Structure 1
Amino acid sequence: MPSDATPDPYSDPLAFGQRLQILRTRKGLTRDQLGGLMGKSAQWVKDLETGRRRTPRLEVILHLAEILRVRDLADLTGDQSVHVDLFTGPGHPRLPAVKAAVDAFPLATRREAPPAAHLQARLARAWAARHQAPNHRDVVGALLPDLIRDAQTAVRQADTGADRRAAQAALAEVYSLAQFFVAYQPDAALLWRVAERGLIAAQESEDPHAIGVAAWLAAQAHRDSGPAHFDAADEVNLQTLAFLQPLLPEADDDVLAVTGALTFEAGYTAARRGETGTAWRYWDQARAMADRLPADYYHPITSFSRAIMGAHAVTVAVELHQGGESVRQAAAADAATIPSRPRRARHRIEEARGYQLDGQPDAALATLDKAHEAAPETIKYNGYAKRIVLEETEAKSPARRRRASQLAVKLGLLAA
């Protein structure tokens, strides 16, 4: 994957030496102190941490784990087979069940489709849980398998064309929810299946809002794959904007909001290209659309609203590598007005990127702590956050190294 693609939190797994350094620093031990407790030298510890010395024998690892008070041996070794509660491979524990529901092909089923109102009520509860629960991936991951199966069944059992289109719109929304869960998980093929099925269901529904949401998510999937896919992101995005623009004079708030979200996404992609003028022009257009929405409006899927535009300005500045501007925009934005916990956490991560660009690593780490407080499952699967933390575990400042190491453990990076 290109270096300026969205960082993959599962790439470059931590080596034994990196894990040892993080755990030692978190414990507050110097290399000389750990070496003394092991009956070895500080140079021996350094050689282990830098990879100059091979991973030691099991009895030595166990002794290190005892000194460092490691609760799970896998945190030190990186061998997840040691951790009996963890399913094979990285990712969220509920990923296999969600994947099984997506991959199923239920041509014949005794399952009876729920009433449309019941399905919509469950979807509304699932979105509310995603925005409000700190462990939102766990909650949504538990709800998704049945939602996927029931929404698929509703499409197959629809009696009329209108019922089928409404069921397709609901199915498209379920796939949108699934894409939020699957994002940043170690299964790119699954992400694309979900995105493509969402697009197809949305097109079949003929519902402008469903089409806009599916396109918004598909454009993100393309853009996050790196520069080679930026043109595809723009193609999906701009074609959908051309479809929605004529509908805006009579559109409801939801269609206006998803159009605003797509407008900002075009600016986001331009910022990733380094096109400063274009990026800020699209941001200005999106802000004008946000200003047409009620002050307390908040789109339940894209988070588009007046409140989110400050966070979007931080993102544009960060992607343009404008450290000072991103810090100024962060000071102007009010994260407390963002009602969604994962979206608030994502904004904090973008702020942290800005602080790091501006040469303020301590502020970056403090901001990542706030992101963890808002939504631990957002920051845990974010590659940008991982990159900042791991860079600071090797900082010259002992205090900063220790803080970064403590944060690495808190974020669960040793289990990655």
Structure 2
Amino acid sequence: MDSRRIGRNVAYWRERRRLTQTAFGALMGKSKRWVQDLESGARQSDPRLSVLEDAACVLSVGLAELLAEAPAAELDETEMDLIRATLQRHDVITGMPADSAEPLDAETLRRRVFYGWQRFQSSAFASLGRLVPELLTDATRAAARYDGDDQLTAYRSLSMALQLTEALAIKAGAPDLASLAGHRAVIAAERSGDPVVMASAARHLADAMTADGQPHAAAEFAVTAADRLGGDLARRGPAGLSVLGMLYLKAAMAQATAAGLDDRRAVSAARAVPGLLDEAGEHAVRLDGNETNHVFTAFGPTNVELYRVAAHVKLYEGAAGVAVAQAVTAEARAALPRERRAHLLTDLAHAHMQAGSREQAVDALLDAEREAEEEVRRRPRTHQLVEDLRLLGAGTAEGRLRALAERCGLPG
């Protein structure tokens, strides 16, 4: 065993778990000096397996993570549990912080939320495991302690932090957590009095409702929000048009999901999808054809096409989805945030599989992995696609698919 590499991995996970060397040493029944030697690789040339097993237990990781060539950069279950626990705390639920700590100033809080969204759009999800609980705590405290304009600003930051929590939960395949965060984000947005933030929160809640098995309600909620806020949003310029367009995109995805349900509304849901996508496209045109990222929407003509691909996949129209995806130019794709680029490629992989082009599906997944590892290796939705491809067979791409499955941590 490489003691230096193992030491680096221990240090990495200790810092991710927000443990000092002293605290980690205490949990291990050792001194700070012992931890320093372990992390530097100076303790022994071949660390005992029992020591590493104890360290893995304290750090809530698998032993394989401490022995790996490089530590995993993905958000893990322990961090998602911390986010869930933060949302369930009395002070965060009631908005009444129990301590007397001074809140962050409004501008610092805004910048920290902005940074969190930047990390999300870069698909750097692991870094959010520590940041999101802090944002929820800091924003709750600021909203409770400030008044006047500063309080309204704090509520905007709180809503955006909750929306970030919702988006992260969707990625992690935790729709119940996403729905909880989404509902609270809408309440905080309403208290902010800002229609742009209200619409942003509404589109995220619609996304969460869809993921949580309520697509009909999600579509109705998104369209109602668009009708209610549309006038105000149109007067807010590009930011308003961006969140307004996103409401129609989320409504389209909700209807496409509802079309797959076995109920009497499925046919009408499928028929509604093209019109909602076209409505979003009209708002994108009003942005003069520019790709924007106002309120972290990445909204513009290209993102509308990405949603067309996703909708075709939901409707099991794989060939149509492939055609739309392949019409998106490399230049247009490059203008999108990394998370969006990887999402397009995973949707393209789904579309290829539906169209019977399973080798091309594997290649699209590998392209997505190169764009953003976490978007492929950690998402439950992508894991299911890999499993489906393994079951169906991928022809000459079998070897590449098998290697990808191993990187995703899927059983052989």
User: How far apart are residue 127 of structure 1 and its match?
Assistant: 1.7
Quick check: 1:315 aligned with 2:302?
no
Q: For residues 253 and 396 of structure 1, do their structure 2 counterparts lie closer, same or farther at Cα, with a shift above 3 Å needed?
A: closer
Structure-2 residue corresponding to 1:402: 399
Structure-2 residue corresponding to 1:22: none
Residue 394 of structure 1 contacts residue 401 of structure 1 at CA under 8 Å; is this kept in 2?
A: no
The within-5 A match list for 1:285-300 is 285-294=279-288, 295-300=290-295
**3-state SS of 1:183 partner:** helix
Quick check: 1:167 aligned with 2:154?
yes
Distance across 2 between alignment mates of 1:338 and 1:347:
13
**3-state SS of 2:90 partner:** coil
Quick check: 1:283 aligned with 2:277?
yes
Which structure's residues are more often helix, by fraction? 2
Quick check: 1:125 aligned with 2:112?
no
Distance across 1 between alignment mates of 2:345 and 2:141:
39
Distance across 2 between alignment mates of 1:186 and 1:318:
18
User: How far apart are residue 395 of structure 1 and its match?
Assistant: 4.2
Structure-2 residue corresponding to 1:377: 374
Residue 159 of structure 2 contacts residue 201 of structure 2 at CA under 8 Å; is this kept in 1?
A: yes
Distance across 1 between alignment mates of 2:172 and 2:295:
22
Output the amino acid matched with 2:118.
Answer: A
Structure-2 residue corresponding to 1:363: 360
Output the amino acid matched with 1:141.
Answer: G
Q: For residues 269 and 193 of structure 1, do their structure 2 counterparts lie closer, same or farther at Cα, with a shift above 3 Å needed?
A: closer
Q: For residues 376 and 116 of structure 1, do their structure 2 counterparts lie closer, same or farther at Cα, with a shift above 3 Å needed?
A: same
Q: For residues 84 and 329 of structure 1, do their structure 2 counterparts lie closer, same or farther at Cα, with a shift above 3 Å needed?
A: closer
Distance across 1 between alignment mates of 2:224 and 2:393:
49
Q: Which has the higher contact order (CA 8 A, sep 6+)?
A: 1
Structure-2 residue corresponding to 1:222: 209
Identify the range of structure 1 (94-103 vs 305-314) with the bigger mean alpha-carbon deviation: 94-103
Residue 358 of structure 2 contacts residue 393 of structure 2 at CA under 8 Å; is this kept in 1?
A: no
Quick check: 1:143 aligned with 2:131?
yes
Q: For residues 400 and 170 of structure 1, do their structure 2 counterparts lie closer, same or farther at Cα, with a shift above 3 Å needed?
A: same
User: How far apart are residue 138 of structure 1 and its match?
Assistant: 0.7
**3-state SS of 2:221 partner:** helix
User: How far apart are residue 188 of structure 1 and its match?
Assistant: 4.4
**3-state SS of 1:111 partner:** coil
Structure-1 residue corresponding to 2:87: 102
Residue 308 of structure 1 contacts residue 338 of structure 1 at CA under 8 Å; is this kept in 2?
A: no
Quick check: 1:180 aligned with 2:181?
no
Distance across 2 between alignment mates of 1:91 and 1:338:
29
Structure-2 residue corresponding to 1:152: 140
Structure-1 residue corresponding to 2:14: none
Identify the range of structure 1 (203-212 vs 270-279) with the bigger mean alpha-carbon deviation: 270-279
Residue 392 of structure 1 contacts residue 401 of structure 1 at CA under 8 Å; is this kept in 2?
A: no
User: How far apart are residue 351 of structure 1 and its match?
Assistant: 0.6
The within-5 A match list for 1:175-324 is 175-185=162-172, 187-226=174-213, 229-274=214-259, 275-294=269-288, 295-324=290-319
Distance across 2 between alignment mates of 1:251 and 1:138:
34
Distance across 2 between alignment mates of 1:150 and 1:236:
29
Q: For residues 407 and 83 of structure 1, do their structure 2 counterparts lie closer, same or farther at Cα, with a shift above 3 Å needed?
A: closer
CA shift digits 1:200-219 (9 cap, x unpaired): 11111121111111111111
CA shift digits 1:274-314 (9 cap, x unpaired): 34442111111111101111514223423222231221121
Quick check: 1:343 aligned with 2:340?
yes
**3-state SS of 2:296 partner:** coil
Identify the range of structure 1 (203-212 vs 392-401) with the bigger mean alpha-carbon deviation: 392-401
TM-score, scaled to structure 1: 0.73
Q: For residues 397 and 358 of structure 1, do their structure 2 counterparts lie closer, same or farther at Cα, with a shift above 3 Å needed?
A: closer
Distance across 2 between alignment mates of 1:143 and 1:299:
22
Which residue, 95, 105, 111 being the options, matches 2:101? 111
Residue 260 of structure 1 contacts residue 290 of structure 1 at CA under 8 Å; is this kept in 2?
A: yes
Residue 131 of structure 1 contacts residue 339 of structure 1 at CA under 8 Å; is this kept in 2?
A: no
User: How far apart are residue 235 of structure 1 and its match?
Assistant: 2.8
User: How far apart are residue 265 of structure 1 and its match?
Assistant: 1.5
Distance across 2 between alignment mates of 1:214 and 1:147:
16
Distance across 1 between alignment mates of 2:252 and 2:154:
32
Distance across 2 between alignment mates of 1:364 and 1:388:
9
User: How far apart are residue 99 of structure 1 and its match?
Assistant: 2.5
Distance across 1 between alignment mates of 2:177 and 2:320:
37
Distance across 1 between alignment mates of 2:395 and 2:359:
12
Identify the range of structure 1 (336-345 vs 207-216) with the bigger mean alpha-carbon deviation: 336-345
Output the amino acid matched with 2:86.
Answer: A
CA shift digits 1:10-67 (9 cap, x unpaired): xxxxxxxxxxxxxxxxxxxxxxxxxxxxxxxxxxxxxxxxxxxxxxxxxxxxxxxxxx
Q: For residues 358 and 397 of structure 1, do their structure 2 counterparts lie closer, same or farther at Cα, with a shift above 3 Å needed?
A: closer
Identify the range of structure 1 (259-268 vs 186-195) with the bigger mean alpha-carbon deviation: 186-195
User: How far apart are residue 399 of structure 1 and its match?
Assistant: 3.7
Residue 323 of structure 1 contacts residue 354 of structure 1 at CA under 8 Å; is this kept in 2?
A: yes
**3-state SS of 2:298 partner:** coil
User: What's the C-alpha RMSD, in Å, of the aligned pairs?
Assistant: 2.6
**3-state SS of 1:318 partner:** helix
**3-state SS of 1:394 partner:** helix
Output the amino acid matched with 2:308.
Answer: A
Output the amino acid matched with 2:117.
Answer: W
Identify the range of structure 1 (285-294 vs 382-391) with the bigger mean alpha-carbon deviation: 382-391
Distance across 2 between alignment mates of 1:309 and 1:345:
15
Q: For residues 225 and 296 of structure 1, do their structure 2 counterparts lie closer, same or farther at Cα, with a shift above 3 Å needed?
A: closer
Q: For residues 207 and 414 of structure 1, do their structure 2 counterparts lie closer, same or farther at Cα, with a shift above 3 Å needed?
A: farther
User: How far apart are residue 158 of structure 1 and its match?
Assistant: 0.9
The percentage of aligned residue pairs carrying the same residue is: 23
TM-score, scaled to structure 2: 0.74
User: How far apart are residue 230 of structure 1 and its match?
Assistant: 2.0
Distance across 2 between alignment mates of 1:179 and 1:397:
34
